[in-house]
Amino acid sequence: MQESVWRDGVASAGHPRLERDLDVDVAIVGGGITGLTTALLLARAGKTVAVLEARRIGDGTTGGTSAHLTVALDQPLATLASRFGEEGARRAVESCRGAIDTIGGLCAGLGVDAEFQRVPAFRWAETPAHVPHLDDEARRYGEAGVLVHRQDGLPFSSLAVAALRFEEQAVFHPLRYLEGLAAAVVSSGAGHVFERTRVTRWDDGRPCRLRTSTGATVTAQEVVLATHSPIGLLVSLHTRLEPLTSYIIVARVDDPPPLGLYFDTAEPYHYVRAVSPARPDLLVIGGADTKHGHEPDTAACYTRLAEFARTRFSVRAIERRWSAILFESVDGLPFIGRLPGAQHVWVSTGYSGTGLTYGTVGAQLLSDLIQGHDNGWAELYSPSRVKPIASARRFVAENASNAYRWVADRLAPAPSDRGAGLPPGDGKLARVGGKKLALYRDPTGKLHAMSPKCTHSGCIVQWNQDDRTWDCPCHGGRFDAEGKVISGPPMADLRRVALDEEEPAPGEREERPAAAQPVQPEPERRGEVG
Ligand code: FES
């Protein structure tokens, strides 16, 4: 898996593994922006908290994003207004504006050198047909209290025919910010941060119980699933989320644009920002999103991104590339609040392309709800909401049939060999002795064989040659080349298989895909390894 630019030069504090049983008020699964911000807010409110991160702080999507902090949402405000009312759309913008203020306040208050800087954001159009949309957005954002201006073009691109300029947006360095949050959680005296501690099962109850990969157990009054897409078999949530892969390159250019955030109105859209105010010539350029686990030629996505960059900038070199997973919700707003059917389990997910802003909204809202405080955003973001919108039924149906196809696919013929001809660093699906396997040959030449069944609910993972990952096409799961979980709903690694292992017994149980099951909210009180 290729690392993002945000790891460069950032020393990890090296938080410990959880080695003994622990009892806290709130257990938080996931050490990204949602989890760590929630932990800090609750610790400051007097709660004892434990953050349980499966890998390192920020190793999930927080550390792989382009780190935009903006109120300019992925969904058009007109669409949100039609689904949530004019007031709902305004509240969504208001909550994001508050989140940016919170991040700036925490950077200053904690003394975190995360390069937080206020900058303008630009949404630009390269086709005249999109200009009326920009005009409508300008009016709506203005009514929501955002300082926004319409302008005719952009300084760096002659292709732009119109743009909106949003004032008072921000950039920052996401991993430095997370390290600062984690240090503050620990130094509060009320919080623990554990790394390399994967939660392998959670149970709702009084208290809630969490089992971990280290063998230690955590008991807690409340549990927050802050793993971007919540871990466990959560049918009513996972079928209302669409996982997308977003591709990112770092380009060194001769003609950097003024410091700011830039995103276009294309479909799929593109986004641009400088890596840092100190290196304006290094641009993070992303987009070209595809359905996660569905793209057979990920190299082509990076190629398209490089072409996009070269058409608009004088590119000296492409210095880095990586991808990140994002989740779009069925109705366009995140799900933040109590898990449907649960008593003491909370979720925050479905951030679309505004993850660091919404992650902070999620932390603020969950912190209030767990403390029993009223919060004016609770109803808007409730995971139990059901919006009677025409696209929702189609969205869920497509998700379900899609999942079923990817499970049924395990029966389709695959090349029958034992990895012959597979070069070092490459992977593929193959049928060996009548059994379908995920094969990977590491750089030393050693062949690794795994079951290709995703441990979440049994879909067949797909090899991603560019990122050297196994990507699950159903609910956004991602595993490294040797089958270890990187992110998404799965809680267990792909099962290792000895190449001389016996054939499966006739009638071996075939899992039914989660997405093919009923989708209305239902009691969900437990998550465990699939
Ligand atoms: Fe759900 Fe893989 S993430 S089956």
- Show Cβ contacts of residue 39 under 8 Å, excluding neighbours closer than 6 positions: 26, 28, 49, 51, 181, 185, 191, 193
Domain membership flag for residue 55: yes
Q: Decide: 356 and 69 in contact? Cβ < 8 Å.
A: yes
The confidence score (pLDDT) of residue 416 equals 59
Supply the pLDDT for residue 418: 64
The residues, ordered by sequence, that sit 6+ positions from 337 with a Cβ below 8 Å of its Cβ are 346, 347, 365, 366, 369, 378, 381, 382, 383, 384
Ligand 1: distance of its center to the CA of 243 in Å?
Answer: 10
Categorize the per-residue pLDDT at 411 as very low, low, confident or very high, splitting at 50, 70 and 90.
Answer: very low
Examine the pLDDT at 313 and tell me if it is beyond 90.
Answer: yes
> 30 lies in a domain?
yes
**Ligand 1 nearest atom to the CA of residue 513, by list position:** 4
Rounded Cα distance between 48 and 11, Å, is: 26
Cis peptide before 155 (omega within 30 of 0): no
Residue where a domain terminates, one of 277, 302, 329: 329
Residues 256 and 230 reside in one and the same domain: no
Radius of gyration of the chain measured on its C-alpha atoms: 22
Residues 215 and 150 in one domain: no
Whether the predicted pLDDT of 121 surpasses 90: yes
Atom of ligand 1 at shortest distance to CA of 490? Answer: 3
Atom from ligand 1 closest to the CA of residue 530: 4
Centroid of ligand 1 to alpha carbon of 512 (angstroms):
11
Tell me, yes or no, whether 196 lies in a domain. yes
Host domain of residue 348? 18-64+175-238+332-389
For residue 417, tell me if it sits in a domain.
no
- 42 and 142 both lie in a single domain: no
209-218, 248-257, 456-465, 503-512: segment of lowest average pLDDT: 503-512
The average confidence (pLDDT) of the chain is: 88
* Cα gap 196→112, rounded to integer Å: 24
- Confidence (pLDDT) at 527: 62
Give 354 Cα–ligand 1 centroid separation in angstroms.
23
The helix/strand/coil state of 268 is: coil
State the CATH number of the domain containing residue 453: 2.102.10.10
**C-alpha 418, offset from chain centre:** 34
> Once rounded to an integer, what is the mean pLDDT over residues 36-47?
98
* 2-32 tens-digit pLDDT: 778 888 878 777 899 999 999 999 999 999 9
Ligand 1 atom having least distance to the Cα of 403? 4
Are the C-beta atoms of 330 and 392 separated by less than 8 Å?
yes
Ligand 1: centre distance to CA 475 (Å): 5
Beta partners for 478?
471, 487
- Residues 248, 349, single domain; the answer is no
Q: Is 71 in the pocket of ligand 1 (CB under 6 A)?
A: no
Share of the chain above pLDDT 90, in %: 74
Average pLDDT value for residue range 424-438: 89
**Total domain count, the chain:** 3
Give the model's pLDDT for residue 59: 85
**d(Cα 317, Cα 170) in Å, to the nearest integer?**
26
415 CA from centroid of ligand 1 (Å): 24
Q: Could you tell me the pLDDT band of residue 332, with boundaries at 50, 70 and 90?
A: very high
Mean pLDDT in residue range 493-508: 65
Q: What phi-psi label fits residue 9: left (phi over 0), alpha (psi between -120 and 50 degrees) or beta?
A: left
Q: Are residues 269 and 298 in the same domain?
A: yes
pLDDT value at residue 510: 38
Poorest-pLDDT segment among 30-39, 318-327, 360-369: 318-327
Percent of residues in the chain assigned helix, strand, coil, to nearest 5: 30, 30, 40
The pTM (predicted TM-score) of the whole model is: 0.90
Residues 6+ apart with CB under 8 A from 276: 115, 173, 282
Domain match, 345 and 216 both = yes
Cα 305–310–315 angle (5° rounding)? 110
Same domain, 156 and 233: no
Tallying the residues shown for the chain, one arrives at: 530
Say which DSSP state 69 is in.
E
474 lines ligand 1 (CB under 6 A): yes
How much distance in Å is there from the Cα of 45 to the middle of ligand 1? 36
Do 249 and 166 share a structural domain? Answer: yes
Q: What is the mean pLDDT of residues 393-412?
A: 59
Say what the pLDDT of residue 516 is.
36
Query: Which residue has 């959880």 as its token pair?
Result: 18
498 and 485 in a single domain? The answer is: yes
Token reading at 125: 């159009």
Same domain, 221 and 274: no
> Is there an atom of ligand 1 within 6 Å of 475 CB?
yes
Residue 125, SS3? strand
Question: Does residue 224 share a domain with residue 128?
Answer: no
pLDDT tens, residue by residue, 254-307: 999 999 999 999 988 899 999 998 999 999 999 989 999 998 888 999 999 999
Q: Ligand 1, from 402, 451, 453, 454: best to mutate by most atoms within 8 Å of Cβ?
A: 454
**233, 456, 478: which to mutate for ligand 1, most atoms within 8 A of CB?**
456
pLDDT of res. 431? 85
CA dist 41 and 365 (Å) reads: 10
Statement to judge: residues 337 and 296 lie in one domain: no
Distance between CA atoms of residues 353 and 66, nearest Å: 9
Alpha carbon distance 95, 91 (integer Å): 6
Among 311, 329, 347, residue at a domain's last position: 329
Best of 405, 457, 461 for a ligand 1 pocket test (most atoms within 8 Å of beta carbon): 457
Tell me how crowded residue 321 is: count the other CB atoms within 10 A of its CB: 23
410 is a domain residue: no
Buried/exposed 396-405: b ≥16 CB within 10 Å, e otherwise: beebbebbbb
Does the C-beta of 459 come closer than 6 Å to ligand 1? yes
pLDDT at 213: 96
Phi, psi of 197 (to 5 degrees): -130, 95
Side chain identity at 104, as an amino acid letter? G
State which ligand 1 atom lies nearest to the alpha carbon of 458.
4
pLDDT reading at 472 higher than 60 = yes
Ramachandran angles phi, psi of 45, nearest 5°: -85, 5
Residue 254 maps to which CATH number? 3.30.9.10
In a domain, 370, yes or no: yes
Contact criterion met (CB below 8 Å) for 369 and 346: yes
Residue 221 pLDDT > 80: yes
User: Which helix (H) or strand (E) covers residue 326, if one does?
Assistant: strand 315-329
In-domain check, residue 521: no
CA torsion angle 61 65 67 72 (round to 10): -100
Is residue 488 within 6 Å of ligand 1 at its C-beta? yes
> What's the CATH code of the domain at 201?
3.50.50.60
Q: Is 452 in the pocket of ligand 1 (CB under 6 A)?
A: no
Reduced to 3 states, what is the DSSP secondary structure of residue 117?
A: strand
Asked which of 329, 347, 372 is the last residue of a domain, the reply is: 329
Q: Where do we find the tokens 């759309």? A: 89
Residue 469 is predicted with a pLDDT of 94
- Where does the pLDDT of residue 464 fall: very low under 50, low under 70, confident under 90, or very high at 90 and above? very high
> What is the CA(478)–ligand 1 centre distance, in A?
9
Whether 295 maps to a domain, the answer reads yes
Give, in degrees to the nearest 5, the angle at Cα 508 between 198 and 463.
Answer: 50
